[in-house]
């Protein structure tokens, strides 16, 4: 996979690409990540990439020309990349979208600054507009880092155990169940006995029920679309969980 990031601050990505899972994936040649300053693509005589909005208003807008030319420079003839605009008006980012993007050959992410973008960038350049949450950041760099991290870890071989990505929270549709490690007793706090029982079927059922419990308490909205079985519904009712969503249970 090729990930290109268009930003005015490429130095921000140095720590991310030289650490942890992303660094390992780059060294294994599973992904090639390049952060490119798009200012040199400006044809403005002073190298400006922003200008005042037509009609007046506060702030400056990123101009269309530098970004159109920068994206054209990064595109390869044989690949049709996903061109992603990081923007609060974009669709909310989800694990499902991360899994979709992980199947692409090339991602180009545009990190904005200032007040916003020339609308022609949205309408004629990008394929996706993505928001990582309902809050405002200084620029799109943090969002691009989040998307890159979530996508790269899904690439086969990026994690020490590929099954880890499959069982993570949101990948299954539920929040992940509790985890414990040694020692079995710590300051009077014991690991649930079922986890040391050696009965794998019971352990898996316990884990699933704990995922249901945690999701019902912390993110009941996820259960609105999760395909609950009759056994799941019986468990939730027995535990008095998620009573506000009786139509789903």
| Known catalytic membership, residue 205 | no
56 is in an annotated binding site: no
- Single out the catalytic residue among 39, 51, 82, 88: 88
The C-alpha angle 143, 149, 29, rounded to 5 degrees, equals: 130
134 is in an annotated binding site: yes
| Known catalytic membership, residue 141 | no
136 is in an annotated binding site: yes
133 is in an annotated binding site: yes
| Known catalytic membership, residue 221 | no
Strands ordered across the beta sheet of 106-111? 32-37, 2-7, 106-111, 82-92, 128-131
125 is in an annotated binding site: no
| Known catalytic membership, residue 246 | no
Residues 7/34, Cβ–Cβ less than 8 Å: no
132 is in an annotated binding site: yes
Strands ordered across the beta sheet of 50-51? 50-51, 61-62, 116-117
137 is in an annotated binding site: yes
- Single out the catalytic residue among 4, 87, 153, 232: 153
- Single out the catalytic residue among 115, 149, 176, 209: 115
- Single out the catalytic residue among 37, 69, 100, 168: 168
As annotated, the binding site for S-adenosyl-L-methionine includes 112, 132-137
Residues taking part in catalysis: 88, 115, 153, 168
């Amino acid at each position: 996979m090729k990930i290109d990031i268009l930003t005015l601050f490429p130095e921000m990505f140095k720590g991310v690409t030289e650490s942890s899972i992303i660094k390992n994936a780059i060294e294994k040649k599973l992904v090639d990540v390049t952060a490119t300053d798009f200012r040199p693509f400006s044809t403005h005589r002073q190298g400006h990439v922003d200008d005042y909005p037509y009609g007046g208003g506060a702030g400056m807008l990123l101009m269309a020309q530098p970004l159109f030319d920068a994206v054209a420079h990064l595109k390869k003839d044989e690949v049709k990349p996903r061109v992603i605009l990081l923007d609060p008006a974009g669709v909310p980012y989800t694990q499902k979208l991360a899994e979709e993007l992980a199947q692409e050959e090339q991602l180009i992410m545009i990190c904005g600054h200032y007040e916003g973008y020339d609308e022609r960038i949205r309408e004629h350049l990008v394929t996706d507009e993505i928001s990582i949450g309902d809050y405002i950041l200084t620029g799109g760099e943090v969002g691009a880092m989040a998307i890159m991290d979530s996508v790269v870890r899904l690439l086969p071989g990026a994690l020490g155990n590929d099954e880890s990505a499959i069982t993570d929270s949101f990948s299954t549709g539920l929040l992940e169940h509790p985890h414990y490690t040694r020692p079995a007793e710590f300051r009077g706090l014991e690991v649930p006995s079922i986890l040391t029982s050696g009965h794998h079927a019971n352990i898996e059922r316990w884990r699933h029920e704990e995922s249901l419990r945690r999701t019902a308490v912390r993110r009941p909205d996820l259960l609105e679309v999760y395909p609950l079985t009759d056994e799941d519904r019986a468990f939730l009712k027995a535990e008095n969980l998620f009573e506000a969503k009786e139509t789903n249970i």
